[in-house]
Amino acid sequence: MNSLSWNCRGLGHPLAIPTLSELVRAHRPNFLFLCETLAKRNRVETIRSRLNFEGCFVVDCVSRSGGLCMFWKLSSSCKLLSYSSNHIDIHVFDPNGDWRLTAFYGYPDRGRRCESWSLLRCLAAANSLPWVVMGDFNDLLDPGDKRGNVSHPTWLFNGFRAATLDSGLSDVALVGYPFTWSRGLGTSHFVEERLDRAMASDSWKTRFPGALLCPVTATISDHVPILLKCIASEPSSHKHRFRFENKWCMDSDLPNVIRDCWTNLSGINIIDRLSAVSESLSIWAAGRNSHERRLKRQLEERIKRLQGRNDLLAIDSMREAKKVLADILAREEMH
């Protein structure tokens, strides 16, 4: 059972929905949490339908800031416990034993961090189910969570650490690049921090001893999506019938594939010719898709390798990789 969390920095960006579609297709999360949606309920409901989630709960943005939403796959799989402009708390019904998932968005304003810490403590006291909290905490646990010239006050480290200890929470192991947010790329003020994380109670970790947290690639937002893996996804055995895909029309080779196959089958009845063209298109598309998947993996790996580098060559290379990746995502969104 996978859960994905992302500070998307607004769902109005033209690449927001293609990026979300790719994240959902690639990682198949049972739960998807978005913060800073900058969106109202009607807009989020449209996105829920497009992403094929069955359930959804929305906390509307206020003016042009904030906004939270939680999507889930089965309407019978969970129940809302509480919510605010900073959290969505749900009870997850699991055949192997119920647990609790809280999507969390900490106050960005340092003057209100104490309110974030108080909210964590209140949520901890509200329920005794095995508990996991994930999201953008806007807080750091220790100096290793930050890289850059701007110092972080000790009282903020201590306050957040005390709140997590009082709440009985500890980090779920992060595998991959250690920072989830960056600012000032290409300048002397470049800084990276681990603002997004998943934390869990001992009872939840006992239930899911192999749980891991993985950063995943996105082409927009200054935050990296994080994927909480509890159970490995099983590959689908469903066999799809032939369908002509709109995205093929963007490929200049398409007319040649159809023309060559159709011409070589002259004298055969129309049904068999159509069937043969369909098969040829399927083989051609499979090769194209395989190439695109390899290219996408290569681009994602290049972006990961370039994370944290602040030289102009690396910055230009990352921007180019993100541009090509965005083009691939746009074609997949058309698909």
| DSSP letters for 232-267 | PPPPP-PPPPP---GGGGG-TTHHHHHHHHHHHTTT
Phi, psi of 192 (to 5 degrees): -130, 145
Residue type present at position 18: P
Q: Which two tokens stand for residue 52?
A: 């094929």
Q: What pLDDT score does 233 carry?
A: 36
CA dihedral 99, 101, 102, 103 (to 10 degrees): 180
* pLDDT averaged over every residue in the chain: 88
User: Strand, helix or coil at 172?
Assistant: coil
pLDDT, tens digit (0-9, with 9 covering 90-100), for 85-106 = 999 999 999 888 899 999 999 9
pLDDT, tens digit (0-9, with 9 covering 90-100), for 193-249 = 999 999 999 999 999 988 999 999 898 999 999 999 985 334 445 556 778 887 778
